[in-house]
Amino acid sequence: MDKKIQKRKLGNSNLEVSAIGLGCMGMSFAYGTVPDKKEMISLLRKAVERGVNFFDTAEVYGPFTNEELLGDALAPIRNQVVIATKFGFELDPNGGPKWIGLNSRPEHIRQVAEASLKRLKTDVIDLFYQHRVDPNVPIEDVAGTVKDLIKEGKVKHFGLSEAGAQTIRQAHAVQEVTALQSEYSLWWRELEIEIIPTLDELGIGLVPFSPLGRGFLTGKIDDKTTFDSTDFRTTLPRFTVEARKTNQVLVDLLTKIALQKNSTPAQIALAWLLAQKPWIVPIPGTRKLERLDENIGATAIELTAEDIREIGNTTSKITIQGTRYPENNAKLVNR
């Protein structure tokens, strides 16, 4: 395994990260049975050995346990890694597993920052995202609060997640936004209409989450796959049996190209993202070493302009069935 993954800068910032990061949510949250913590610590450290230096978490993952996992795993090698975490949800005061609303009030952002620093066993958060836009708090107040945290040395960079173009502009005018984290993949390309041109204009990086369509684009899931009852994909319209059957056409295309390139559908999906812009850094999640290696391998795949055109043209004719989120969650995105 070649340990030299290329690096990328997020937008016009000086934040340089590995071209593929690691989304850590699934290590302690959302995808069925939670794996053994020692195994996940080992996986995180092996990721660093292989050149991955960009790790994504949030207080709401668990809640709290994912940040604690990263703190335990990465504290001894803290100077080698970039850690991104997030604020913006109101968690159940009784310790329940679900968030109960949005909260980006300035005092809450500060409380989350202090608590995250402790759990992550660090004195600075490299990239602090607003997890979802809070309609009850002006984005200028949010950006101003993070600006103060940056001045105080507790945060290095400010990010937004699933924000609309207008919100991005308003925030950026107060405190430079280093990165936007939003869903972007071959089965969710809505960002190309307005968001990606805005990021390009302002010099903001893009960190696509679910770049493999929550596992669907790997070709390992079909209409016969069954999910654990605690797996949140059971709640997603895109993962109904009918939707999976219809959406298989996209995986078939990736599989065809993968055979030509001696690679896998997942690697083609990631390579396509990397080829879109030099400031795009996907963060596929995994809990398995062989998948980590497979994802890293995507950085070595050369897609020609013809390949990219073919993928783009063919996928634009495919109508993906099913919305990203159930109705009650859909209103949280692209504000």
* Top-ranked range on mean pLDDT: pick from 12-16, 310-314, 319-323: 12-16
Query: Contact at 8 Å (CB) between 48 and 76?
Result: no
List the single range of 80-89, 285-294, 300-309 with lowest mean pLDDT: 300-309
Question: Catalytic residue among 31, 61, 129, 184, which?
Answer: 61
Task: Work out the end-to-end distance of the chain between its first and last CA atoms, rounded to an integer number of angstroms.
Answer: 41
Which residues touch 118 (CB under 8 Å, ≥6 apart)?
none
Residues in the chain: 335
Q: Which helix (H) or strand (E) holds 72?
A: helix 65-74
Q: What are phi and psi of 227, to 5 degrees?
A: -110, 145
| Structure confidence at residue 1 as a pLDDT band (50, 70, 90) | very low
Token reading at 94:
């009784």
What domains appear along the chain, each with residue ranges and CATH number?
7-214+273-302 (3.20.20.100)
Q: Residue 230: what residue type? A: T
Query: Contact at 8 Å (CB) between 218 and 264?
Result: yes
Is-catalytic flag, 325? no
Query: Contact at 8 Å (CB) between 278 and 12?
Result: no
Which residues touch 141 (CB under 8 Å, ≥6 apart)?
104, 106
Q: What is the pLDDT of residues 32-74, one digit of tens each?
A: 778 899 999 999 999 999 999 999 999 999 999 999 999 999 9
For the cut 70, the answer to whether the pLDDT of residue 330 exceeds it is no
